[in-house]
Structure 1
């Protein structure tokens, strides 16, 4: 089997003055687009074989930006520049591919639209309708020689665009929050929930691409924030004696289940990032074995999440959630809310937090600290409904949440280390891992002391 990777140059400046189309350079956004695609190109194996690109300035700068991110691969020196690839005709690219040597098993071609799209459609029935700047297609072809290429002989293995490879790039195109400056309280709540829904749906492609962990993090945060806000609405409605909100319990159950489905994957992302940024004092062979095992678990979790997101049931649940938010029963409940009632619920939750904090002891299980962390999150989401009023309070909450989050991270690392030690991938000499786990336990004990020493929220 042969592998063909088609990449469009990144975002380019418009020609001006005497500048020709061939001379157009990348914009700064184009530089960021190309850099965002460097790691996916490497992971897909697109940089392992031959690299061919148009002689245009924008394609050369695209490769240079990728090369700058992966200096050890020496990409610019290995690549071949061709005037023949500076074309907008798909048939010309077909002719170029047919001249490739039999030995070329993997080929990356960096060129231009519409030629790349025409080539992709000629080769593959499932080729996309568009290929944005910086976009990448991975086509699998039969093992026949390149001169034997025929229409529809390829399979689309994967596709990716910079906005789903980089959360920083996505943010520039993300759904904008509504302007709710002069709106009443219920309208602001409705607008916030609608915006959170839009964000969740917009983040899904980046979550499924699995390149930038920040997509998953924000997807998870927005699901949980949505749930926390609606739980607050529910509590306020009960306090006001408004009764049950039809369908709310089922919607909250769905949101909780979808957020929980991301937990292990998020924990693995955080663990792997910590291993990369602050490597533990483990022998290099042991650390590599641990990283390989964690990456394998991450792939399993990501594949499971992608299957869940592709399932028709997920789309149905999200559409149901959108319909619920716009439904008459929920809107009527929102109309009965006021900032005063929300403040009353906030006060109840702060009091509940202080009771949980006071109940902690050196013998308390880890779950009690985890429950406190969840309570702090719910309080924070509720206070963020009136951020100006609670600016100082929120600042203290975030510090408290960070402390509890660090404790949670240590607990999850311990759990993954236990699973690693029990696996066949663990090295025969596991003493170093056991010693590190004991170090983590000492760090946990220190954090437990810090948490128990926190003052009640009512005193901050």
Structure 2
């Protein structure tokens, strides 16, 4: 089987003065696009075969920008700058493709539209209708000579745009704008906030499925959990028929992301702060975690592509726009919010007072959940002071760090169990787990030093 990767150059400047089309350089946005696609080239193994680049300045700079992001890639021996690729004619590009040497089993082409898109459609009917600047397509082809390629012989393996591969691009171009909090009444603001979070969840799905930038998953998870938290805050202050059932579904969808998000956080930590393990153990752990992540991501993608998921999310949007939900929100007053808020603060302070240094992990996790619920409820109250919200965020971060350490220990223990009879690596893992316990103890001390929230609020 052969592999063909087609990449359109990144965004270029328009010609000015005596500048020819061939001389057009990349715009600032184009440079960022090219850099954002470097992880895709690496993940798709697109640089492991022959690389062919148009001689135009914008295609060469697209290649150069990618190369700078992947300094370990040694491409000097198999990169070719070919003037024949400076073409906008699909038939000419197809004729060029058929001249490739048969020993080339993997080929990356960085070129121009509409030639690339015309070639893609000739190769595969499922090719997309558009190929934005900086985007890539991956095709698998039969192991026949390039000259013998026939129309429709390829299978589209994957396609990706910079805004699906990079959260900063998505945030700049596609992220729904937050509602205007200042000019909306409490009921309207809550509904606008939930609708905006729904739209954000749906817009993030493509990036989550692509799986290149972990920030997509993080923001997807955050918006699901915030929607649920806001909904629970509303439910705690007024009766809303059908809301409890809807929130249960949101919880299920958010929980489906938990392990994958924990793995992303752990892998990021490993890259920044390598553990005190032998090289063999570190490599084994990294490969094991990546394997777990791949399985979790595959399972999540199957859920996101299922009809049941689409029906649930559509049902949530319909519920938010319903008259019944609007009537329930109209009964929500700052006084009601404040009453429930005071009850939750009292519960938090009781839990905090009952903690001790030798307490298990569960009471600390319970306290973290209480802080989260208090924070989202406080967000609904216009009278809540910025100082109180800031303190809630600080406590949520502190307890979140504690939970991250607990999760890290759980993955280390699971990895150690997978080692079977490798006593040396198991011993290293146990020593690492013990060192994390020391960090947890320090965080316990920080939590126990917190003052009651009632004192902060007043």
TM-score (structure 2 length as normaliser): 0.96
Shift of 1:276: 0.4
Following the alignment from structure 1 to structure 2, what is the Cα–Cα distance between the partners of residues 182 and 10?
40
Following the alignment from structure 2 to structure 1, what is the Cα–Cα distance between the partners of residues 41 and 383?
44
Quick check: 59-68 or 362-371, which moved more?
362-371
Question: 2:282 matched to which residue of 1?
Answer: 287
Following the alignment from structure 1 to structure 2, what is the Cα–Cα distance between the partners of residues 257 and 233?
19
Quick check: 364-373 or 133-142, which moved more?
364-373
With over 3 angstroms needed to count, the CA separation of the structure-2 counterparts of 1:195 and 1:88, relative to structure 1, is: same
Following the alignment from structure 1 to structure 2, what is the Cα–Cα distance between the partners of residues 159 and 424?
37
Following the alignment from structure 1 to structure 2, what is the Cα–Cα distance between the partners of residues 390 and 122?
61
With over 3 angstroms needed to count, the CA separation of the structure-2 counterparts of 1:125 and 1:294, relative to structure 1, is: same
Tell me the SS of whatever aligns to 2:53: strand
**Any conservation in 2 of the 1:227–1:255 contact (CA below 8 Å)?**
yes
Tell me the SS of whatever aligns to 2:110: strand
Tell me the SS of whatever aligns to 1:113: coil
Tell me the SS of whatever aligns to 2:236: helix
Shift of 1:387: 7.5
- 1:104-148 residue CA offsets vs partner (Å, 9 max, x unmatched): 011000111111111011001211111111111100000001111
**Any conservation in 1 of the 2:229–2:373 contact (CA below 8 Å)?**
yes
**Any conservation in 2 of the 1:124–1:153 contact (CA below 8 Å)?**
yes
Q: How many positions carry a matched residue from both structures?
A: 454
- 1:82-103 residue CA offsets vs partner (Å, 9 max, x unmatched): 1111111111111111110011
After TM superposition, list the pairs within 5 Å mapping 1:57-456 onto structure 2: 57-75=57-75, 78-173=78-173, 174-237=175-238, 244-385=239-380, 389-424=384-419, 427-430=422-425, 431-456=427-452
With over 3 angstroms needed to count, the CA separation of the structure-2 counterparts of 1:418 and 1:387, relative to structure 1, is: farther
TM-score (structure 1 length as normaliser): 0.96
Following the alignment from structure 2 to structure 1, what is the Cα–Cα distance between the partners of residues 42 and 421?
27
With over 3 angstroms needed to count, the CA separation of the structure-2 counterparts of 1:346 and 1:142, relative to structure 1, is: same
**Any conservation in 2 of the 1:126–1:156 contact (CA below 8 Å)?**
yes
**Any conservation in 1 of the 2:338–2:381 contact (CA below 8 Å)?**
no
Give the unaligned 5+ runs of structure 1: 238-243
- 1:165-184 residue CA offsets vs partner (Å, 9 max, x unmatched): 11111100211123343222
Shift of 1:374: 1.5
Question: 1:241 matched to which residue of 2?
Answer: none
**Any conservation in 1 of the 2:164–2:207 contact (CA below 8 Å)?**
yes
**Any conservation in 1 of the 2:49–2:105 contact (CA below 8 Å)?**
yes
Following the alignment from structure 2 to structure 1, what is the Cα–Cα distance between the partners of residues 75 and 32?
18
Question: 1:240 matched to which residue of 2?
Answer: none
- 1:246-300 residue CA offsets vs partner (Å, 9 max, x unmatched): 2111101000000111110111111111010011111111111100000000001
**Any conservation in 1 of the 2:228–2:247 contact (CA below 8 Å)?**
yes
Following the alignment from structure 2 to structure 1, what is the Cα–Cα distance between the partners of residues 382 and 302?
37
Task: Verify: 1:46 aligned to 2:42, yes or no.
Answer: no
**Any conservation in 2 of the 1:121–1:127 contact (CA below 8 Å)?**
yes
Following the alignment from structure 2 to structure 1, what is the Cα–Cα distance between the partners of residues 111 and 430?
51
With over 3 angstroms needed to count, the CA separation of the structure-2 counterparts of 1:171 and 1:290, relative to structure 1, is: same
**Any conservation in 2 of the 1:138–1:156 contact (CA below 8 Å)?**
yes
Shift of 1:427: 4.4
Tell me the SS of whatever aligns to 1:342: helix
Tell me the SS of whatever aligns to 2:72: helix
Shift of 1:365: 2.5
Following the alignment from structure 1 to structure 2, what is the Cα–Cα distance between the partners of residues 124 and 404?
51
Shift of 1:381: 2.1
Quick check: 390-399 or 176-185, which moved more?
176-185
Shift of 1:76: 6.2
Quick check: 184-193 or 309-318, which moved more?
184-193
Shift of 1:162: 0.7
Tell me the SS of whatever aligns to 2:445: helix
RMSD over aligned CA atoms reads 1.5
Following the alignment from structure 1 to structure 2, what is the Cα–Cα distance between the partners of residues 32 and 386?
40
Following the alignment from structure 2 to structure 1, what is the Cα–Cα distance between the partners of residues 231 and 435?
40
